[in-house]
A and B are shown apart, each in its own frame.
Chain A
């Protein structure tokens, strides 16, 4: 049932991308998804596509999984395409009543949708190649300079990793409780919306109780090991910036520069 859902969606591997420093990966991703929005012409889209395909093949993540990450957002994609299709002025290709479909509309719709697809694909690549723990480590390191402005970097990272850590546990628990209630004849799949919402009560009550119990136990366990926030805390695995990360940066910056160049030239 629920255990079939892939979560945290880390795809274990040992590729170039997997071994990059998480800080470098996060910054590269941010630069590149901004760069996607610079692309305007056919050739610049081709460049972005080529770069994305190259990165995917370097990562070793099956393209099937990337598609799986994009799929849940199909509605937004279709919506974006349709809005641009109908609202862009230009040469009318055909029309029915008040609806005009223009050549420009088709092109713009395609480009905008592609931008979103690339955005999702690229950021999903980040989570596929970075385990949640490493990812939060990276986020914490990137937030640390903002501490002086009052950003609780360590606490945020700790909350994130605890939340991530407990998602599979809670899913497993939900699965178990649902099975237990199902074997007592509970039915979660038929009936109208009201009926189904009501049928979730036998699952939600035990789930909340156990979530609170777990939170309490975890707090006690952390206290027992003298946890008192990030002050003076060192790490077992230090993040290390290597030549690999420079190569990553160089590639992303080069592509971005090319995209800016193409935009200025056109």
Chain B
């Protein structure tokens, strides 16, 4: 199971004075079981790239295949493959339209042609995923919910399609820290249960360090770097900065301390992990004294 991007170029506004090359010879393979973080400054081509992965945009040149099926086609198999790649856009709550939460979540599964019982089951499961109580919220109008709850309904709408690959474009933008943690911890849980692979587009390096197993850095429409997040942070910081991004604040701090000659666990992915390891090291030091 994989998504392959082969020599893809994409040009916006072809033939107009506003013509702009957004993707420039991108080659990429994303395998099932990966948690891919995509970063890059504004206009680097991140959003354009992910929209190719489920056939919302078609390459000007080159091709994108999911499990070997070219997404440019129109037959049933192609459509099924597109549905296997779920997409959560930025501010997904702005696409809610149904009268009730339940109907809105059911929109995707219904379009997939599932029968009523199946749809109902998936709606319940998706609401459980985003921690919205079915009995309380199913029949409510999505427009009467808070912003955070609307976001959850929108995410549930994609989860209910049971994607093999889940693409999320800045899913936590505009959420409070608690809401952010909650969404990511649920996504992480399902990722670890191997329900889906994740492709996360974000500016937040902390999230990448904490969650991603692979990091793609986009720059000027190209994949400038591709590797393990920690390896890129620790060994390729110069190149990273050349792409207009930098290592997470935690890694930045740890690297600074290390340069000052203080032994620190610079590979720590979270503050918690760093704190625990440092505590251990400090205790170890006292024992040695």
Contact = CB atoms under 8 A, between A and B. Distances in A.
Nearest to B15: A64
B111 A11 contact: no
Interface residues on B, range: 20 to 34
Interface in A174-224: 176-177, 179-187, 201-203, 205-206, 209-210
B112 interface: yes
Interface in A76-97: none
The winner among B51, B94, B157 for most chain A CB atoms within 10 A is B94
Contacts of B83: 185
A4 interface: yes
B158 A206 contact: no
Interface residues of A, number: 23
A199 B119 CA distance: 19
A187 B83 CA distance: 12
Given A176-B89, A186-B111, A187-B111, A181 B95 contact: yes
A11 B107 CA distance: 41
Contact of A11 (B17, B51, B96, B97): B17
A183 B54 contact: yes
A157 to B, nearest CB: 26
B111 A184 contact: yes
Nearest to B87: A183
B137 interface: no
A180 B95 contact: yes
Majority secondary structure, A binding face: helix
A186 B107 CA distance: 8
Contact of A6 (B12, B16, B107, B157): B16
A196 to B, nearest CB: 15
A3 interface: yes
Given A184-B107, A184-B157, A185-B111, A179 B13 contact: no
A182 B108 contact: no
B97 A183 contact: no
Contacts of B56: 179, 182-183
B207 to A, nearest CB: 22
Contacts of A261: none
Nearest to B89: A180
B112 A183 contact: no
A12 interface: yes
B48 to A, nearest CB: 11
A180 B108 CA distance: 11
Nearest to A179: B56
Contacts of A12: 17
Contacts of A180: 87, 89, 92, 95
A181 B89 CA distance: 10
Interface in B109-132: 110-112
A243 B263 CA distance: 75
Nearest to B95: A180
B171 interface: no
Contact of A4 (B13, B17, B143): B13
Interface in B58-107: 79, 82-83, 85-87, 89, 92, 94-97, 107
Contacts of A183: 54, 56, 82, 85-87, 89, 158
Nearest to A186: B111
Nearest to B18: A6
B95 A177 contact: yes
B209 interface: no
Interface string A163-181: 0000000000000110111
B161 interface: yes
Interface of A: 3-4, 6, 11-12, 176-177, 179-187, 201-203, 205-206, 209-210
14 contacts: A3-B12, A6-B16, A177-B94, A179-B51, A180-B87, A180-B89, A183-B54, A184-B157, A185-B107, A185-B108, A185-B112, A201-B97, A202-B95, A209-B94
Given A183-B56, A184-B108, A206-B94, 12 more contacts: A3-B12, A4-B16, A176-B89, A182-B56, A185-B83, A185-B107, A185-B111, A186-B107, A201-B97, A202-B95, A202-B107, A209-B94
Interface of B: 12-14, 16-17, 51, 54, 56, 79, 82-83, 85-87, 89, 92, 94-97, 107-108, 110-112, 143, 157-158, 161
Q: Kindly list the 8 A-B residue pairs having the minimum CB-CB distance in the complex, ordered from nearest.
A: A185-B111, A205-B97, A184-B108, A183-B87, A180-B95, A179-B56, A202-B97, A180-B89
